[in-house]
Structure 1
């Protein structure tokens, strides 16, 4: 790889990060396809907003329950080998979904059960993945760019994967999406096997003691605590809207699986722009202020999306939502990774995973239940308004803005 790379791609100079990035690019595209196919299949079987909320709850509640222990495990073992195990298990889960869908055996209960299984796998995988990146680039100066590129990878596939899934589901059925996702895990397994880096394996302490130590460290650090709160607010109030999109596509826009795929791709397009925006910046100066403002922007976009009835406005509003959520999540990730001690990295990133992914199922359950009772548009409006309030409540103080400018 040439030494002179465009500024937004500079972290790809590191061999291990370059290999990891390529493998994840293929695998995450498959993951997005599976998520779309699974949500659409659940809605097709039940026509229920509550089931969509339960699906989001089942897939992410294990992260809330188990990710902190996953972070402890990540800090005391070889993260590369740990990820190879979790990725292989996720491949088996995708194959099970493919068989159920292909044979017509899928039921809401089985979908919820397999969503929970994948959530348990992710509770171990995500802290390991988040804390692995810093070791792959070597030079800590490249860390913000590596995190931004990681976000770019996640969101470029989020743009392409759902659109492809919508077409495949409409033409060939959900089973093909599940099968393609299972095959995509081969790419990341090959990439992980090729890495030279062997991070992890720190001194072992009793698991509960190590967990308490990580929690005390995170919440005694004022800035870490504040940004975890911001991420948790967006996770609870904004992120669950995604599980309602099948219902929105069919009942508000009168569309089908392709409409659903385009809605999620619009979120991905905005998220992709946020990733490019983050990757183009050399330092983290001013990032804390931008993250704080993005919380309120997400609330306004969700509120307007709730009031909208047309495809013409739905797509750009979702782009703004995708941009805002990724700016909050990836920006906070960058800041936390820059501040945290290496020996605490796995545990702090596990707490970050709980804040961003583990809190979301509570929001999914609440949003699905409320939408079942009063309808999707009033529900989205309530959650959007609450997000605006949360953004204003967590806005940076004047001295923080001055320090961060």
Structure 2
């Protein structure tokens, strides 16, 4: 189905061009509310486990429970996203996520919160994330015309990082005053907004790709496709390295703040909010680009690594806060650039599977790195865990630089997929 037949053309001349598309605007509003609630749960889960166990390794295991299902079920989830109506799939997934958050609230409100129950519900949340991620990211591409895809990706990233500014600030206040349970309860209620948004969308305006034909080997076909496309393969390899050792913020940052700087839960949520300010500004600045070269990805990875080294060496929170702004800006630049390259260059019929692979390497590798980093932070020093993440980002940047065809034959990867 052609773009012209479904989505009205939108000139990509402003930072917020994609918001002129009604379906994307509804999606943005619903996600703006729901993602703030999601960050309440993300922060409250990690801090509750740290409070109950006092163990960095336990926080790493929680991260593994949350992200492990993305690694286990990611390829199949991507195939499901390619085959079914993404809007209906997301309505079902978001409804189940609401139930999961409300169950977490019941556990947290109890006199003796059950650690096993928290881990089981975290795993349930991970399964839902595995289903949600490729479908949600694919549907963003289907909502807007081709020339606005990068703008939509950047706005969506700004939304995510904006919620990471507001969510931790609210979570810190709630935890300090009324406890962890209210974070989960408010998150559960916030899903109503995104469910209303999906219900009010006009499916006829989506720019849908043809579903893959039923048959065996569809998951393997997606893997072969990515491996044979360097424009997709190189960013995914870089994301695998960085996702494993550098993006484990929920593991290393609480331990760095508490153990190395002598801070509190509120200090941690403040650091995360400051980091997210850098991410938010960076995401908005990136939204005006229509074409993305691979150079942007490896330069962002290098800046990410250098910033993380600075955080590992920071002598105080006063120095850590401005460095966190740089970490936020460089990390989101890496995510937005690599995501845009993948979304713009993936064949539409393969997009769900390709984005599922990207989710696997961004999130699904966390169960591998999370416990390792948690153990390093607990048994050696949190600064060592941060430094390991910094080195990993620099290694990824070096790999991207060495595989960048623009260094040999200058060119830009095509800015739009086949309609």
Shared fold by TM > 0.5? yes
Cα distance in 1 between the residues matched to 2:191 and 2:37: 8
Match of 2:47 in 1: 40
Cα distance in 2 between the residues matched to 1:90 and 1:37: 16
Report deviation, 1:5. 9.4
Cα distance in 1 between the residues matched to 2:56 and 2:306: 23
The structure 2 residue matched to 1:392, chosen from 398, 407, 413, is: 398
Cα pair distance change 1:398/1:134, threshold 3 Å: closer
Match of 2:175 in 1: 169
Match of 1:306 in 2: 312
Cα distance in 1 between the residues matched to 2:84 and 2:246: 34
Higher mean C-alpha deviation, range 294-303 or range 373-382: 373-382
Two-structure CA RMSD over aligned residues (Å): 2.0
Please state if 1:245 is matched with 2:253.
yes
Match of 1:331 in 2: 337
Match of 1:118 in 2: 125
The structure 2 residue matched to 1:261, chosen from 263, 269, 273, is: 269
The structure 2 residue matched to 1:275, chosen from 279, 283, 297, is: 283
1:145-186 residue CA offsets vs partner (Å, 9 max, x unmatched):
011110010011111111111111111111111111001000
Report deviation, 1:104. 2.7
Q: Is the 8 A contact 1:266 1:318 kept in 2?
A: yes
Report deviation, 1:383. 2.9
Cα distance in 2 between the residues matched to 1:54 and 1:313: 30
Q: Is the 8 A contact 1:214 1:344 kept in 2?
A: yes
Q: Is the 8 A contact 1:289 1:404 kept in 2?
A: no
Please state if 1:403 is matched with 2:411.
yes
Match of 2:5 in 1: none
Cα distance in 2 between the residues matched to 1:118 and 1:38: 11
Match of 1:205 in 2: 214
Report deviation, 1:225. 0.4
Q: Number of residues paired by the alignment?
A: 400
Match of 1:224 in 2: 232
Please state if 1:29 is matched with 2:36.
yes
Cα distance in 2 between the residues matched to 1:101 and 1:188: 24
Match of 2:161 in 1: 155
TM-score (norm 2): 0.91
Report deviation, 1:397. 5.6
Q: Is the 8 A contact 1:5 1:13 kept in 2?
A: no
Higher mean C-alpha deviation, range 338-347 or range 309-318: 309-318
Q: Is the 8 A contact 1:78 1:201 kept in 2?
A: no
1:86-125 residue CA offsets vs partner (Å, 9 max, x unmatched):
0011000100111111123423222221111100011111
Report deviation, 1:39. 0.9
Cα distance in 1 between the residues matched to 2:328 and 2:56: 22
Match of 2:417 in 1: none
Cα distance in 2 between the residues matched to 1:349 and 1:386: 22
1:320-363 residue CA offsets vs partner (Å, 9 max, x unmatched):
11212211111111111111111111111111111111112211
Q: Is the 8 A contact 1:301 1:320 kept in 2?
A: yes
Q: Is the 8 A contact 1:32 1:157 kept in 2?
A: yes
The structure 2 residue matched to 1:52, chosen from 59, 73, 95, is: 59
The secondary structure found in structure 1 opposite 2:143 is helix
Cα distance in 1 between the residues matched to 2:279 and 2:400: 22
Cα distance in 2 between the residues matched to 1:378 and 1:202: 46
Q: Is the 8 A contact 2:62 2:122 kept in 1?
A: yes
Cα distance in 1 between the residues matched to 2:116 and 2:86: 33
Cα pair distance change 1:37/1:400, threshold 3 Å: same
Higher mean C-alpha deviation, range 48-57 or range 296-305: 296-305
Higher mean C-alpha deviation, range 390-399 or range 82-91: 390-399
Cα pair distance change 1:335/1:201, threshold 3 Å: closer
1:223-261 residue CA offsets vs partner (Å, 9 max, x unmatched):
110111111121112101332222222222222221111
Cα distance in 2 between the residues matched to 1:351 and 1:399: 23
Cα pair distance change 1:185/1:246, threshold 3 Å: same
The secondary structure found in structure 1 opposite 2:401 is coil
Cα pair distance change 1:150/1:312, threshold 3 Å: same
Match of 1:318 in 2: 324
Q: Is the 8 A contact 2:161 2:277 kept in 1?
A: yes
Match of 1:136 in 2: 143
Report deviation, 1:403. 2.3
**Is there any run of 5+ residues in structure 2 with no aligned partner, and where?**
1-7, 414-419
TM-score (norm 1): 0.94
